[in-house]
Structure 1
Amino acid sequence: LVGWNEILNENLDKNAICQYWTHNFDKVLEHLRMDRNVVMSELNAVYLNFPYNLLPLRKTYMYDPIPNELEQKFYNQILGIEACLWTEYIPNKKRLEWHTFPRLIAVAEIGWTPKEKKNLQSFLKRLDSFLKRLDFHEINYASKDEFEKDEVNS
């Protein structure tokens, strides 16, 4: 059983996996500390359906799915991350690609790069070569001007 964090309660099967997306974070920490598993999909970090001015690429890249409050012995209870994309307000393939890229590339890096090795400038430099691949395959993506916007600077 995999369910959003709203399923968390004392009667939950010990094998149930919590998919954390928002609120009730204390219950998620409790779940982890009981040697139970979680998939991290933080609403304000890896939900791809948000426009870049609300969720800039920098914020996605800097997200750490391992909470600071969690003791290291429970790190293995975090099975990974999930990037969600709700499409009810995405009208076509071109817009879908724009929401997905380059954010999904940042999400991939979140999954395999330890926090202490993250470097936004290095990522942005390496991103240029990946964007050329997207160009080759005619995949639409947010431009640098678009993905660097945020609420403060837009």
Structure 2
Amino acid sequence: MELPLVYVLNGPNLNMLGMRQPKIYGNATLDDVEQICIQNAEQLEIAIDFRQTNDEGELVSWIQECRGKAKGIIINAGAYSHTSIAVLDALLSVELPVIEVHISNIYRRESFRHHSYVSHAATGIICGLGLQGYALALAAMADLILEEDN
């Protein structure tokens, strides 16, 4: 039996985790995030495709690639969450469940981070729970997929 596929997409500067603003983002690296996702996906019996890019166009292309291929998208679009209508339009076009993740609580930060275009396409949003947010997003996505299949 083929496992349902979930894309875990990460936007700009997430490759700098562990080095960038550790008081906000902690000391864990993007590799640590990927390992958390791999371990949780195995337990949940879903497959993941984990990616990171600093390029908006590449992120849009990856989202579009999900249509007809994936069962859902977990996305931490980084700063593109707050600036990219292109990412929003791509998420809306694939017609899949989307869970938006932010490591920090964007509502306790600068006011420009309080608005997220990604949220307009998101089934759910997890923010402020650190790397645990990815594990929670995977569990929620597994439940959404199960509901859809029943």
Is TM (by shorter chain) over 0.5? no
TM-score by length of 1: 0.31
Larger Cα-atom Rg: 1
Relative to its length, the structure with more strand (as a share) is: 2
TM-score by length of 2: 0.31
